[in-house]
Every structure is written in C-alpha cells, then in structure tokens.
Chain A
C-alpha cells in the first residue's frame, strides 16, 4: 500500500508544472504581481536576471555531495528532464542537448567535486518503517508533503476533498536515494539545502532512519538496508567535458559551484517570450501554468518597485511555507485534511494541537525572542507533537522584518507593582493564571497551558494588554477566558481595579523573576495524610492493585484495610500509616493511591456482589455482599497489631461462604466460631 502511494506520486505527470505551494495556494486563483514576485524568487528567475525581491534567496541544493546522495542513473535522468523523475520540481530543464554522453560527463564532473577519499557510510543495522510512518505523520512532515493514504490518524482518515492545497511533491525517492543517504538528508536538510526550503526538524539519528525507511517503502521493521549510493569513479577527461556543459547551462546561477564554473548574469530585456514562452528553444524551460505565466508578467511589469515590509514578510512566510502550519491574517494553516495529523494535548482543545497563528506575530513577540524561536532555541509549547523546524539563513532578518511589518503602537508599562502581580497571577484572589499555565518548571494546577514565567522576555507589552482583554480575538478557539472583559477588571480590589495597572503588575512580576505566583501548593503529599485517632476513618478512592472501587478503612490501632467494592471482599491490608488523600480529595487528576504503611498483604480476589456497608456506633464497618445469592456480612475491627474479621450469614445446609485469607500473614480462627458466624484475627508481628 505504501509502495503504491509512492509510485502514484512518481507518475503523476510527465511534463508537470513547477509547484511552489505558497503560490498555488494563495495566488494561483487570481494572478497578481505579488504572486509573480513569489514565483520570480522561488523559481530562481532572480538568480539569473537579478533584482531584489525582498525574499530570502532560493538556491539549488549543494552539488559537491550530490554524487554521495543520489543514484547516478536517477541523477542523469533528472538533469536531462527534471519533471520526468520529480514532477513538480522547481528546477527547469536546462540542457538543450541531453545526450547520454553529456549526461555521463556531467555526472563525472559532479563526482569530481566530492571528497577525494571514499567515506564508507555508517552501517545501519535496523530500520523500523512503521515507527517512521508514525513520525512522518506527526512531526510536521505532512504539513507540506502528502500523507500516506495507508496511515489513518486517530480522528479518522481525511477525505480527498479536504485537501485544499497542493503538497510539495517528492521525486521518485527509491530511485534517487539509499536508506543511508536519505536518512542523512532528513536529519539535516540544511547541509544540502542551505536555502531552508526543506527545513530541519530536530530529531534523533534513528528517527531519521525510520522516516527514511517509511518513505522508501521498507517493510514494517526491517533489517535489510538496500543499495548504497556509489559515486562514479571520476574520469578526468569526462569531468572536463561535463564542466563545459555545466557552464553552458549556467548551473552556478542557482547552485554553489567552483569559480571555474561560474555563470554570468543574464540581462532582462523583455517582458515576454524567453523562459516565459513554453516553446522557446534556448535557455531553461519551465512548463509554467497560465496562472504562473500571467503572474510573472504582472510582476515583471513592475519589477523595480520594492516590496513593502508587510508584503515581504507575507511572501517570505509563503516561500518558506510557514503558512502550512500557521495561519496569518485568516489565511493558511493546515487544511481540513491535514488538521487530522496534528496531535497534542487534548485538554487544551485546538490550541493544544495546532501551532499558533502568526497574525501580528511581529507585534506580539519581542524581536530578540522571535529570532531565537527561528533559531530553534525558544519553544513554549511542548505539548504540540509537530516540531517547529529551523530554516537556517533563510530566516536571518525575518524577526526584524516581521517586527516592522506588524508594528503596533509602542506601549511601555510604567512602574508596575510586582507584589500585586504575584497576587493577580495566583489563585488566592487573583485571576488564577496558574490554574492553567505552567510557571517555569512548576506544572500548573489544572491543564498544562504554555509557560508564562517568561512573558516579559517573550511578549511586547501592548500585545499582552490587548490579548488579556480579549484572548479569543487573538487566538480563536482558545480556552482562555478574559479576566478583563471589555477592559473591565474582574477584581476591583487590586490596584483599584485599574486594568492597565493590573496588567502592568503581572508583567513586572514576571520581569522581576522574584518568586512565583501565589497558590502553588508546597509539596502537598504528606499534608493530607489521614490519621485515624478516635474512630475508624472510611474513604473511597482508586487504589493500586485494588481497583477503582477501593473502600479504605483506617483504624486507630494502626492496621488498615482496603475493601474491594467491585468484587465484594477484602483486598489488602497494611500496618503503620494509613494513606494521604491529597490526590483523591483535591487534585483534578486523581491517581491510584498507595498505602503509606508497610507490611502490605493481599487477599485473593473475591467474587461477591457488593451491596454496601454500614457503620456501627464506634465507626467499625460492616460490608455486605452477596455470594451465590446469599447475603454475607463481614465486620472489621481494629485490635492490637491486627484486625478482627467477623463473617455472618444465615446458615443453611447447602451454603458456606468462600472466605479467603491473605498470604504471608498469621491468622487464627477464634474459639466459638461456627456456621453462620465465623471470626478470624489477623496479626502483624
């Protein structure tokens, strides 16, 4: 199934048009100069014809290592006609004469650029393609590339109609790569594509191997590794011929090549014909769509006009396909189909799954923070399964550009009472921000929203104020309520209810890094220990190895019982301290409790039907259960160093209750025990 999908991609089109997803998604429907500007940059026009698009340079992949990366046969086919083995590739057909001898010569020339000594690739012992498929479909790869039809995300398979924009196409990966060379590429694409059009997602070596195994259609978990890429042994004569062909084709305009293969710029004299003409014989041939051609013409008519910062920023985000994951100004973000592949923390709703919108991001984040986000350093949403990639030098200056494009009126909080901020952030009279937000390494009290301890370093003041007044206006779908709805504070008692002063105080407290908001529990475990003093204490809870209907009874005598309300019988007992009820009583996320004491003993599972319990005047419980339709009552009492168990039923000749005893404990049946009333004493020595 996986192999079939890949083959389908490979044969999609013999003379396909180049695919620039940002163009196809946002500009193809109605040609504009803006769309043309994007294409002029992304198709590499600018690399021969010059000009300043305002966009990060689009460069071809490194050729010095291509012979180690791509199979020779594939490479020759690609050079002869890129669309034949990589439909949708942006590289034009550049050779006018693509005879086999020229292609072999180019192959030798390219091999001559590589390292002199042969590097034996690292030995890959194992590849797990099904794991790789899971990673491919969750780390963010499918935001740009097509998901595999055989992979069904948790929410169900997307419908074809929900794919509303083109995927970035793959070449025939099995013809091009070895497992080793593809996994090396995946682990750091920027080494090969420093222009960042294929960004780097942080991953382990084994992750890259497994993803490559998936893409190359290996079996689920496979010890086989497939053919290596073996570069041609360089023939010097051929290499020289190859270099001439490379110079003639002006490869160096887009690719990094030695000085002796440099390409000279080509003046742009006309706004028609040339590369724009699909039938022209000279120079690179692009199989442009009508929309692409019209857009390029519109752009060329006004090529000298520089892009304003807003346009440059928007087009940069489209060129790098940031908008595959992020919405900006109501456009972009994953389409209906791709949304299914975004996973995260269910408790945070949509904001726990999808990357944040970039609308106004340059006015939201401080530029120095944003630069570190782009560098891969600052990450505040650990719950997103997709990983924000790194684009290398393509994003140099992007933080600054966004800052200019999205600038909002500057606001600087004056003063700011940081002790009020501590209160406002906390749960003791404040807005309770820490109910949902982490604070540094302190988990929040409820759902685990983003860390807000860094807000002063991260956020611009004006944005913070406007956001807190209307969160949903900035993050549609957020679970965050406004505590200053319409600018009116929820709490008139703090700082006179002045919204600006309250928000300034929050900001200042975070900036001061002077402690944490009010309301975080100290280590609460231990503070809610139940200590039975005068009477037995009964508390129902989830308990480990007992189950979800555990009825815990603590006795002042120091031996305690867990009765199983599911199976209708005693389940475990222990000596010493009873248990701590903090998680059962006060956590939103209860867990299975453990006894605090020692010498824990367990009864074999009972098989009665539990009917309830009653408490006598001293607080001792009598549990009622049915065994084979007969009502059996058993009372537990604390005695010195132990428990007394009295089992009572209405005796009949054909019934005796099953009475289990815990392993590893001394017990004795009391004198006077008889049918209808048996008494046992369990002692902890």
Chain B
C-alpha cells in the first residue's frame, strides 16, 4: 500500500476544509508497468480497470483490459494495505464492463456478453457461457462493446462503438447502437447514433443513461437517456436501421453542418442529450456514470450522477430534472487529481466511490498507467450549487448550505451566457451562437438554501453557462466550484 493521497479541492486552496480524499488501492508503481520492458505476463497485476461490481459476499470484482477478472478483499479497510487479489477468470477479449447477476458475473467482451460461473465452489470460474451476442465485430480496434447494466425493468443494456481504422465496417449490424439482451440471448437494438458510448448507468427511477465522447458528429461529451427508437448524434452506423430488428427509421436526411437546435428540429427521431458537458470546461472524454444512493455517506448529493472523465482524470457531478416529460439538467465540476484516465466508477456499500483507471492508448493528465483508487467523503459539507433547476423565466439554484443573503441577492454575483454547438461530421465543435443572458433579479429563499434567478434571453436547446463567483455561504466560504452548465432543452411552462 502506498501513502494515502489527499486531493486538494479548489475550496481547500481558498481556506475551506476539503470534503473528499483519494486513497490508493493499487496504482501502477511505474507509470507504465504494462509497457515496461521487464514486465512479463503473470508478474504483477496490471490493474487496467475496465469494469467493477460487488460480489454477494462483499468483494470487489473487477475486470481488466488484458482479459482477466479479479476478486479483491479488504479494499474498504481504513488503510487498504492488506488487499487480497484472487484471479477469478481469464482469457477474455478486452472486457469493458462487469455486472453481478446473482452468484454469477456478467462481462461484455468484444464479441459477446459472457456469464461467468463458479459451479464447483473453488472460487474460480469454470463456465464461460454466452449470455448475449448478435452484433458484428469487424476486427477494427475501435469496435468496443460496453455493459451490461440493468435498468429498472430488469433489462440488461449493452452499447457498441462505431468502428474506426483498419477493418472498419460500420454498415455491419449495430455499430454505434445500444440495446438490450433478449430472452434468447440475442442483442435487441434499441437506440442508435452513438460513437463511443463508454459508460452506462441508471438513475434512481431505473431509467438507463449513457455517456458518449466528443469526436466525429459528437460536438462534446453528451449524456443520453437511452430508450427504444431514439437516435442521438452519430450517423456512421445508421445503415443498420434497415435491418428487420431495427426499432427506428430516420424520416429525414441527416441535417449536416447545422447548429444543433436546427438539426434537432429537422430530424424528428433525434433526441437531445439530457446533458451536454462543454469541452475542456468539463473535461474531454466522458467514460462512465453512476448514481449516488449513499444515504448521505457521500455528501449531500444523493440521487445525483457522477460522471468519470478520461483525459483530465476527473469526476463531474450531474443534476437532472424532468421538464415536459424529458430529462435535462446541469453539470458541475467535482473532483480531479486521479492517478490515471478514469474508465469506471462504482459506489461501495460504505458510500465511498471506487475509481477504476487505465490510460493505455490515450493521453491523460493522470499519468500512471492504471490504477484503482477510492474517493471518500470526510463529513465536511462542501459549499456547492447542489441543484440548478430551470424555471419559466430563469433558474433556481439550490445550495448545500445557507448563503450569505446580501451577496446571493445581488445580481452582480452572477454571470450567464448561452451557446450551442455545430452538428457536423467534423471532430468536435466550438461553442457557437454565444450570447449573454442578463440576470435581472435574484431572490433568496427564507431558509437561505435557494435562490431564484430571473434570467433574460433564455434559449431552448442551448447550453446555459453560469458563473456565480460572487456567492458565498453564510459562513463566508466561496463555492467549491462557481461554474455550472445547464442544458436547456426545454423551458418549463410553469
């Protein structure tokens, strides 16, 4: 075990006590264990975490990119220096998701979802049964498969990248689609238009969400609400809509090179992401999302989502609400400084957050080759914008602690602007059509925990960026992060 590292939050730098700390379970001792010239298979464990869940007996099961599943004991000890590692399964083909199903584990490899069973009770899998298959794999490096994750109805969801590079074949079945595993184990396509839909997860209501990554046709990291018949952004794999199982047929041409709101209006099947995470401001490549249900043990954010990010090795926070029957909401910076590119998140039974990482193949500010860390809440309530809700004439901000009333009631404490993105086949997009949104009044609630902002020039389908730098808590603390980004797909009627 290495020393317990303390993450310095921005609040900490400004004098408030930190609210979270990062503990190492196992990170690469050199930054490139798996590439070191003296590294050999079987010598040391290259913990390139690509999937995590908890076993029935409280061990952390994780799969790694090399194709193994490990069971870890003792990761929740106050000082995790006696973690036990046991190899449960091996020989898999780059598994990128793991889920417990009763006594079994499900992993999704490149070509199938596989049920791993230990039938003789020796603690090692002896059955590797195909639990779900039916998508094409061309051999292109980018043809990744993710999942499974179970939604509130019990369906298991899997998502599939579009191909890139040699052997690419996005016309073959279901690249860029997400779907569920049918009763007979066949892939049942549900939603199309994704590029690299790396992270699946449900909210408290059991609805399934997925975080994709900025790239061709994806102007910045989006979070989709997955459901039958939805088309999101990337049309590279749309040819599969013609297959008999397709739940979707686009009724108009792809509206290329148009501002995103125009594109959505031109293509009826296109569903806006519930949340856009602006490029650089909120990281670059979203990789996973998980909903907090820790009963306060992870701070005042129960019911919210936490989103993993690869390039900046950080975690963001997302608040969603339903407006007009559809999800939309805001994202907020949360905690950075992790050891490697984050790929997987899962909450532990004790309310801490397990963070699984690998940065092989892409650059990350987390320069270690891989790792497993644990983010713990220490009970110091951060002063944060907990929720940002859309109102017919502005926004309502809910804070984690009472605000300094005078500052919070001063419109000069806030600055807002809105913008959208260009929908095109290019790689990413700049922010376009940016315009200021005047904050004309700020009314603090009697309990000091919320503020009603009246904001001018609201625009549907635009991202509304807030800077509340002037707001302080009653005790004079600055916000942990003063910026927030609300994806205003719809302005509520009341």
Minimum distance in angstroms from B81 CB to a CB of chain A:
22
Q: How large is the interface on A (under 10, 10 to 19, 20 to 34, 35 or more residues)?
A: 35 or more
Among the 9-residue stretches A94-102, A111-119, A506-514, A579-587, the one with 4 or more Cβ atoms under 8 Å from chain B is A579-587
Q: How far is the CA of A357 from the CA of B90 in the complex (A)?
A: 48
Q: For B362, what are the chain A residues with a Cβ–Cβ distance below 8 Å?
A: 435-436, 446-447, 588
Q: Are B67 and A592 in contact (CB under 8 A)?
A: no
Q: Are A155 and B425 in contact (CB under 8 A)?
A: yes
Q: Are B128 and A428 in contact (CB under 8 A)?
A: no
Q: For A491, what are the chain B residues with a Cβ–Cβ distance below 8 Å?
A: 367
Q: Which residue of B lies closest to A617 (CB)?
A: B120
Q: Are A339 and B363 in contact (CB under 8 A)?
A: no
Q: Are A612 and B115 in contact (CB under 8 A)?
A: yes
Q: Which residue of A336, A522, A581 is within 8 Å of B41 (Cβ)?
A: A581
Q: Which residue of B30, B109, B427 is within 8 Å of A349 (Cβ)?
A: B427
Q: Which residue of B92, B119, B359, B430 is within 8 Å of A476 (Cβ)?
A: B430
Q: For A446, what are the chain B residues with a Cβ–Cβ distance below 8 Å?
A: 361-363
A347-B165, A612-B127 as given contacts; A586 in contact with B257, CB under 8 Å: no
Q: Which residue of B lies closest to A530 (CB)?
A: B41
Q: Are A612 and B129 in contact (CB under 8 A)?
A: yes
Minimum distance in angstroms from A506 CB to a CB of chain B:
14
Q: Are A586 and B311 in contact (CB under 8 A)?
A: no
Minimum distance in angstroms from A358 CB to a CB of chain B:
19
A540-B67, A548-B111, A549-B137 as given contacts; A435 in contact with B363, CB under 8 Å: yes
Tell me the A512-533 residues at the B interface (CB within 8 Å): 519, 521-522, 527-528, 530
A336, A426, A481: residue with the most chain B Cβ atoms closer than 10 Å: A481
Q: For B126, what are the chain A residues with a Cβ–Cβ distance below 8 Å?
A: 614-616
Q: Are B36 and A428 in contact (CB under 8 A)?
A: yes
Minimum distance in angstroms from A622 CB to a CB of chain B:
10
Q: How far is the CA of A483 from the CA of B312 in the complex (A)?
A: 10
Q: Which residue of A445, A522, A530 is within 8 Å of B361 (Cβ)?
A: A445
| Interface membership of A429, Cβ < 8 A | yes
Q: How far is the CA of A346 from the CA of B162 in the complex (A)?
A: 13
| Interface membership of A538, Cβ < 8 A | yes
Q: Are A490 and B425 in contact (CB under 8 A)?
A: no
Tell me the A604-630 residues at the B interface (CB within 8 Å): 610-617, 624
Q: For B139, what are the chain A residues with a Cβ–Cβ distance below 8 Å?
A: 542, 548, 590-592
| Interface membership of B183, Cβ < 8 A | no
Q: How far is the CA of A350 from the CA of B430 in the complex (A)?
A: 12
Q: For A566, what are the chain B residues with a Cβ–Cβ distance below 8 Å?
A: 111
Q: Are A521 and B109 in contact (CB under 8 A)?
A: no
Q: Are A428 and B32 in contact (CB under 8 A)?
A: yes
Minimum distance in angstroms from B307 CB to a CB of chain A:
18
Q: For A669, what are the chain B residues with a Cβ–Cβ distance below 8 Å?
A: none
Tell me the A323-347 residues at the B interface (CB within 8 Å): 336, 339, 346-347
| Interface membership of B256, Cβ < 8 A | yes
Q: Are A521 and B35 in contact (CB under 8 A)?
A: yes
Q: How far is the CA of A183 from the CA of B363 in the complex (A)?
A: 45
Minimum distance in angstroms from A514 CB to a CB of chain B:
19
Q: For A591, what are the chain B residues with a Cβ–Cβ distance below 8 Å?
A: 139
Q: For B91, what are the chain A residues with a Cβ–Cβ distance below 8 Å?
A: 537-540, 551
A429-B30, A490-B365, A612-B129 as given contacts; A350 in contact with B427, CB under 8 Å: yes
Q: Which residue of B30, B90, B427 is within 8 Å of A477 (Cβ)?
A: B427
| Interface membership of B189, Cβ < 8 A | no
Q: Are A427 and B32 in contact (CB under 8 A)?
A: yes
Q: Are A613 and B360 in contact (CB under 8 A)?
A: no
Q: Are B141 and A588 in contact (CB under 8 A)?
A: yes
| Interface membership of A480, Cβ < 8 A | yes
| Interface membership of B193, Cβ < 8 A | no
Q: Which residue of A430, A477, A581, A611 is within 8 Å of B428 (Cβ)?
A: A477
Q: Are B141 and A590 in contact (CB under 8 A)?
A: yes
Q: Are B112 and A549 in contact (CB under 8 A)?
A: yes
Q: Which residue of B37, B138, B363 is within 8 Å of A432 (Cβ)?
A: B363
Q: Are A588 and B365 in contact (CB under 8 A)?
A: no
B139, B216, B364, B428: residue with the most chain A Cβ atoms closer than 10 Å: B139
Q: Are A612 and B130 in contact (CB under 8 A)?
A: yes
| Interface membership of B374, Cβ < 8 A | no
Q: For A528, what are the chain B residues with a Cβ–Cβ distance below 8 Å?
A: 40-41
Q: How far is the CA of A365 from the CA of B462 in the complex (A)?
A: 40
Q: Are B426 and A339 in contact (CB under 8 A)?
A: yes
Q: How far is the CA of A681 from the CA of B478 in the complex (A)?
A: 76
Q: Are B35 and A519 in contact (CB under 8 A)?
A: yes
Interface string of B30-57 (1 = CB under 8 A from A): 1110111100110000000000000000
| Interface membership of A565, Cβ < 8 A | yes
Minimum distance in angstroms from A340 CB to a CB of chain B:
9
Q: Which residue of B30, B112, B257 is within 8 Å of A428 (Cβ)?
A: B30
Q: For A610, what are the chain B residues with a Cβ–Cβ distance below 8 Å?
A: 130
| Interface membership of A52, Cβ < 8 A | no
Minimum distance in angstroms from B382 CB to a CB of chain A:
22
Q: Which residue of A519, A527, A586, A592 is within 8 Å of B66 (Cβ)?
A: A586
Minimum distance in angstroms from B155 CB to a CB of chain A:
21
Q: Which residue of A336, A490, A584 is within 8 Å of B367 (Cβ)?
A: A490
Minimum distance in angstroms from B238 CB to a CB of chain A:
13
Q: Which residue of B lies closest to A155 (CB)?
A: B425
Q: For B215, what are the chain A residues with a Cβ–Cβ distance below 8 Å?
A: 349
| Interface membership of A110, Cβ < 8 A | no
A336-B257, A480-B363, A481-B311 as given contacts; A540 in contact with B425, CB under 8 Å: no
Q: For A427, what are the chain B residues with a Cβ–Cβ distance below 8 Å?
A: 31-32, 35, 369
Minimum distance in angstroms from B247 CB to a CB of chain A:
24
Q: Which residue of B34, B40, B65, B141 is within 8 Å of A589 (Cβ)?
A: B141
| Interface membership of A541, Cβ < 8 A | yes
Q: For A581, what are the chain B residues with a Cβ–Cβ distance below 8 Å?
A: 41
Q: Which residue of A lies closest to B124 (CB)?
A: A615
Tell me the A444-486 residues at the B interface (CB within 8 Å): 445-447, 472, 476-477, 479-481, 483, 485
Interface string of B169-213 (1 = CB under 8 A from A): 000000000000000000000000000000000000000000000
Q: Which residue of A481, A522, A540 is within 8 Å of B365 (Cβ)?
A: A481
| Interface membership of A248, Cβ < 8 A | no
Tell me the A149-205 residues at the B interface (CB within 8 Å): 155-156, 159, 162
Q: For A155, what are the chain B residues with a Cβ–Cβ distance below 8 Å?
A: 256, 425
Q: Are B32 and A519 in contact (CB under 8 A)?
A: yes
Interface string of B19-35 (1 = CB under 8 A from A): 00000000000111011
Minimum distance in angstroms from A621 CB to a CB of chain B:
9
| Interface membership of A431, Cβ < 8 A | yes
Q: How far is the CA of A537 from the CA of B37 in the complex (A)?
A: 23
Q: For A162, what are the chain B residues with a Cβ–Cβ distance below 8 Å?
A: 257
Minimum distance in angstroms from A287 CB to a CB of chain B:
35
| Interface membership of B93, Cβ < 8 A | yes
Q: Are B36 and A472 in contact (CB under 8 A)?
A: no
Q: Are A540 and B92 in contact (CB under 8 A)?
A: yes
Q: For A540, what are the chain B residues with a Cβ–Cβ distance below 8 Å?
A: 67, 91-93, 109, 111
Q: Which residue of A lies closest to B280 (CB)?
A: A472
Q: How far is the CA of A481 from the CA of B280 in the complex (A)?
A: 9
Q: Which residue of B lies closest to A624 (CB)?
A: B129
26 chain-A/chain-B pairs, Cβ below 8 angstroms: A155-B256, A162-B257, A336-B257, A346-B165, A347-B165, A428-B32, A429-B30, A430-B367, A432-B31, A436-B362, A436-B363, A472-B280, A477-B427, A490-B365, A521-B35, A539-B67, A548-B110, A548-B137, A549-B137, A565-B130, A584-B93, A585-B67, A586-B360, A588-B360, A590-B94, A614-B127
**When A and B form their complex, which 9 residue pairs have the shortest distance between CB atoms, in order from nearest?**
A588-B361, A612-B129, A349-B427, A540-B93, A538-B91, A427-B32, A548-B137, A614-B127, A589-B141
Q: Hey, which bits of chain A sit against chain B, CB under 8 A?
A: 155-156, 159, 162, 336, 339, 346-347, 349-350, 426-432, 435-436, 445-447, 472, 476-477, 479-481, 483, 485, 490-491, 519, 521-522, 527-528, 530, 537-542, 548-549, 551, 565-566, 581, 584-586, 588-592, 610-617, 624
Q: A432-B359, A519-B35, A539-B91 are known contacts; what are 18 more A-B pairs with Cβ within 8 Å?
A: A349-B427, A350-B427, A432-B363, A446-B363, A472-B280, A481-B363, A485-B365, A528-B40, A540-B109, A542-B139, A549-B111, A565-B112, A590-B94, A612-B114, A612-B130, A614-B126, A615-B128, A624-B129
